[in-house]
Chain A
Amino acid sequence: MASTTSAGSDTTPGRRRHTPRLTKRDKTVLFVMVAIPTLIELVLIWLPTLASVALSFTRWDGIKLNDIKPAGIQNYNYVVNTYTPFWPAVQHNVEWLLALAIIATPFGLLLAVLLDQQIKGSRIYQSIFFTPVMLSLALVGIIWRLIYDRDYGLLNGVLGTAGHSNATDWLGDSKINIWAAIVAASWKHAGYVMILYLAGLKGIDPSLKEAASLDGASAWQSFWRVVFPSMRPINIVIVVITLIEALRAFDIVWVINKGQNGLELLSALIVRNLIGEGQDIGVGSAIAVVLMIVSLVPIVWYLSRVFRKGADL
């Protein structure tokens, strides 16, 4: 917008770029300013990511560098066909994603919509729902253990089963513990979604909502036909956050039992193969590559949307 006002008095709009006017020294300074962070990003993020791909085709116990042996696609074969925790982990990641996408995210949106309508005490509600967002997922796991504990937990205490033999072991029972972990994760996720949508809703022109309601549309219709679509940028971010959170889920299950016995997740399986006994870098890396490829789908989708419009935004 600034460029349109000054364009007339200046030279032709297309040529109004700073680059030609930079001195050699400026160029060097700018180069260094970009080069140092880029180098850090490349060496500490992208090089290891590519190295994971390379290591996934090798066999290695992670101790001596010259013990790395080529293994072809053996690791992938093993992971998919023989490694028993792999498919449960995939299933758990999918369940995690579905629960966040179908329950926690819409719930966050619901909270945002309710709290956006100048309701009394809106800010105190917001603060309450937002509190878990400030906590680490590791701590979320620990705090929820106090609720799920079979003998001492609040949940079984309320159900009256605490201390009885028929008490549900919420975190120990491999059929249900993933859902217990997902509930804990949702506790944090919903507040996160709420705060982003609250920002989105505030950014909407109130006349837009009023125009919709004057047309005789119900609140429900005006929300879904007018308000929600106009929050498109936020919606995209929410989709990406939900996907990425589900793929990144790690801390909670690691805190509970290091991701085993019903709490397998791809991220946890990677780490299980890296540290502790039974180090198998090749297998861990193969799982890492699977997780990477799946993660790249939302990442590429998101980035192509953000940067498609070109640099001139």
Chain B
Amino acid sequence: MSTLSIERADDPMAPTASDHSSGRRRRPRYGTHLFLIVMAVIWLIPLLWGFYTALRPQQSTIKHGYLSFAGPFNFKNFTDAWSQGGFATSFKNSAIITIPSVLLTLILASMVAFAVSRFNWKFNVTLLILFTAGNLLPPQILAAPLFQLFKHTPLPLSVSDSGDLLNTYFGVIAANTAFQLGFCTFVLSNYMKALPTDLTEAALVDGASAWRQYAQIIMPLCRPALAALGTLEVIWVYNDYFWALLLVSRGDRLPITTAINNLQGQFVSNDNLIAAGAIITVIPTLIVYLVLQRQFIAGLTLGASKG
């Protein structure tokens, strides 16, 4: 399967790859290819192994051994894992947490970024350091006080059945948003700084307010950066394990990334079911990966382009 896809996806690349180097003849690099193919296969093994294991009933793997090629192959583990593992709930929780977190992060970060990059304030650098450093800290450092803060934040029972911020989506959204703010602020402020000053100068002459400059001039220009960051943040928040682990103890409130670990306890010594659960969890990421890979990579490299 892997060799097939390598060859197929190779085709569109072929013309650009050979025509590019100004007519100079390149000798074929067999060594490089051999190395890359071996490494690529090794890199694929964990996921393919998971998928392969998930396709096989446990009885069959136990009878023949996990490392065997005996059938039958079917999707029963997937359907079993889905129904027994409460995946529908976990996915819903992931969506409820991820979408608002990413939107909030982008909105809040773009506001700070706009203010510090387009205007000269005394505390611009201080603010950016505050945000960027906050994002680089290991989250475990602030775990205990944040937990206590949320525990002692009273909420009406109509909003939170625990009466505080623990075990609520708000709590996880707030933690994710606060933690991701720094990175997005950093990236967006660099991006906005690179936009020509003339743009807002002209708007100022026309009497546009600061808010209009932000909403109607700068933000539309930031669309590529926002798309890239948005993709990146969706993956990062979806992939976040720690905040929900810390702030949510109710199983039916856990997002999928945190809930998946509980399956290990639930599906004890049924590696086939665990594998199926793991693969189900990967699917949304893989879809984003296939559709928005360019955006994701752009987001990563945007963050690294200034050092």
Contacts and interface: CB of A to CB of B under 8 A. Distances in A.
Real binding pair = yes
Interface of A: 1-3, 6, 17-19, 21-23, 25-27, 29-30, 33-34, 36-38, 40-49, 51-52, 55, 62, 65, 111, 114-115, 117-125, 127-132, 134-139, 142-147, 149, 152-154, 157-158, 162-163, 187, 191-192, 195-196, 199-200, 232-238, 240-241, 244, 247-248, 250-251, 254-255, 266-268, 270-271, 274-275, 281, 284-285, 288-289, 291-292, 295, 298-300, 302-303, 305-307, 310-311, 313
Contact of B115 (A23, A34, A131, A284): A34
Interface string B229-252: 000000100111110011000000
A33 B281 contact: no
Given A125-B40, A187-B46, A154 B66 contact: yes
B109 A122 contact: no
A275 B246 contact: yes
Contacts of B131: 37, 41
25 contacts: A2-B197, A30-B119, A33-B114, A44-B178, A45-B182, A51-B144, A55-B145, A65-B148, A111-B39, A118-B17, A118-B18, A119-B29, A130-B293, A131-B289, A132-B46, A137-B241, A139-B278, A144-B46, A157-B67, A192-B300, A232-B307, A255-B261, A288-B142, A288-B144, A295-B138
Contacts of A114: 32, 35-36
Interface of B: 5-6, 9-10, 13-14, 16-18, 20-21, 26, 29, 32-33, 35-36, 39-40, 43-47, 49-50, 53, 61, 65-67, 108-109, 111-112, 114-116, 118-121, 124-125, 127-134, 136-149, 152, 174-175, 177-179, 181-182, 185, 193, 196-198, 200-201, 204, 209-211, 214, 235, 238-242, 245-246, 257-258, 260-261, 264, 271, 274-275, 278, 281-282, 285-286, 288-289, 293, 296-297, 300-301, 303-307
B65 A157 contact: yes
B301 A196 contact: yes
A138 B257 contact: yes
Contacts of A285: 144
A120 B10 contact: yes
Nearest to B109: A37
Q: Is the interface of B mostly helix, strand, loop or mixed?
A: helix
Contact of A157 (B26, B66, B201, B260): B66
A147 B46 contact: yes
B304 A162 contact: no
B141 A52 contact: yes
Contact of A250 (B140, B146, B258, B275): B140
B193 A313 contact: yes
A16 to B, nearest CB: 8
Nearest to B139: A248
Nearest to A140: B46
A33 B115 contact: yes
Nearest to B279: A143
B46 A143 contact: yes
Contact of A307 (B36, B125, B147, B149): B125
B192 to A, nearest CB: 12
B53 A146 contact: yes
A137 B241 CA distance: 8
B130 A33 contact: no
B129 A307 contact: yes
Contact of A237 (B36, B214, B307): B307
A275 B257 CA distance: 19
Given A2-B197, A23-B209, A119 B301 contact: no
B307 A134 contact: no
A232 B201 CA distance: 34
A13 B16 CA distance: 46
A34 B116 contact: yes
Nearest to B41: A128
Given A135-B282, A157-B67, A288-B142, 17 more contacts: A18-B119, A26-B209, A34-B111, A120-B14, A120-B33, A134-B285, A135-B285, A138-B258, A139-B281, A142-B260, A152-B66, A187-B46, A234-B307, A254-B245, A270-B141, A274-B246, A313-B193
A281 B198 contact: no
A298 B137 CA distance: 10
Contacts of B130: 38, 41-42, 46
B26 to A, nearest CB: 8
| Residue of B131, B241, B245 with most chain A CB atoms under a 10 A cut-off | B241
B257 to A, nearest CB: 5
A117 B26 CA distance: 11
A37 B111 contact: yes
Contacts of B120: 17-19, 311
A146 B53 CA distance: 9
Contacts of B274: 142, 145-146
Contacts of B138: 244, 247-248, 250, 267, 291-292, 295
Contact of A48 (B142, B235, B238, B241): B142
Contacts of B143: 48, 270-271, 274, 284, 288
A268 B187 CA distance: 30
Given A34-B115, A36-B108, A234-B307, A29 B289 contact: no
Given A2-B196, A6-B201, A157-B65, A124 B9 contact: yes
